[in-house]
Amino acid sequence: MRSFGIEFVPMELFWRTTYYAVQAEHLGYDSIWITDHFNNRNVYVSLAVIANYTEKIRLGPGVTNPYLIHPVMTAQSVASLNEIASGRVICGIGAGDRTTLDMVGTEMEAPLRTVRESVEIIRRQIARDKGEYNGKRFRTSAGARFNFKVDDFIPIFIGAQGPKMLRLAGEIGDGTLINASHPDDIERAVKQIRRGAERGGRSFDELDIAAYTSFSVAMDEKSARKPVVPVVAYIVAGSPPTVLDRHDIPQEKADGIRKDLADRNWGEAFGAVDEAMIDSFAICGTPEQCIEKIEVLFKTGITHFVTGSPLGPSVRGAINLFGLEVLPHFKSE
SS3 letters for 45-82?
A: HHHHHHHHHCCCCEEEECCECCCCCCHHHHHHHHHHHH
Q: For residue 151, what are the domain limits? A: 3-222+282-331
Give the residue among 31, 51, 89, 93 at the shortest CA–CA distance from 68. 93
Percent of the chain's residues with pLDDT above 90? 92
Percent of the chain's residues with pLDDT above 70? 100
Mean pLDDT check: name the lowest of 28-37, 214-223, 258-267: 258-267
Q: Is position 254 within any domain?
A: no
Q: Is position 251 within any domain?
A: no
Q: Is position 233 within any domain?
A: no
Give the tens place of pLDDT for each residue, 172-192. Answer: 999 999 999 999 999 999 999
Residue 5: other Cβ atoms inside 10 A: 27
- 206 DSSP assignment: G
The C-alpha atoms of residue 307 and residue 121 are separated, in whole angstroms, by 29
DSSP string, 207-245: -EEEEEEEEEE-SSHHHHHGGGHHHHHHHHHH--HHHHH
pLDDT of residue 333: 67
Q: Is position 54 within any domain?
A: yes
Q: Name 292's Cβ contacts closer than 8 Å, sequence gap at least 6.
A: none
In the chain, the number of structural domains is 1
Letter for the amino acid at 186? I
pLDDT of residue 178: 98
Q: At what angle do helices 183-199 and 287-298 cross, to 10 degrees?
A: 30
The C-alpha atoms of residue 256 and residue 271 are separated, in whole angstroms, by 11
Q: Is position 300 within any domain?
A: yes
Instruction: Measure the CA dihedral 18/22/24/26, to 10°.
Output: 180
Q: Is position 122 within any domain?
A: yes
Give the tens place of pLDDT for each residue, 268-282. Answer: 999 999 999 999 999
Q: Is the pLDDT of residue 61 over 80?
A: yes
Instruction: Measure the CA dihedral 161/162/168/170, to 10°.
Output: 50
Residue that wins the pLDDT comparison between 103 and 308: 308
Q: What is the mean pLDDT of the chain?
A: 96
Give the tens place of pLDDT for each residue, 130-177. Answer: 999 999 999 999 999 999 999 999 999 999 999 999 999 999 999 999
Q: Is position 269 within any domain?
A: no
Instruction: Give the CATH number, domain containing residue 213.
Output: 3.20.20.30
* Full-model pTM: 0.95
Please give the average per-residue pLDDT across 322-333, as a whole number. 92
In order of 55, 84, 259, 316, 321, the CA distances from 26 in angstroms are 10, 19, 42, 13, 13
The C-alpha atoms of residue 191 and residue 300 are separated, in whole angstroms, by 9
Q: Is position 166 within any domain?
A: yes
Residue that wins the pLDDT comparison between 240 and 12: 12
Do the bridges between strand 139-140 and strand 133-134 make them parallel or antiparallel, or are there none, so unpaired? antiparallel
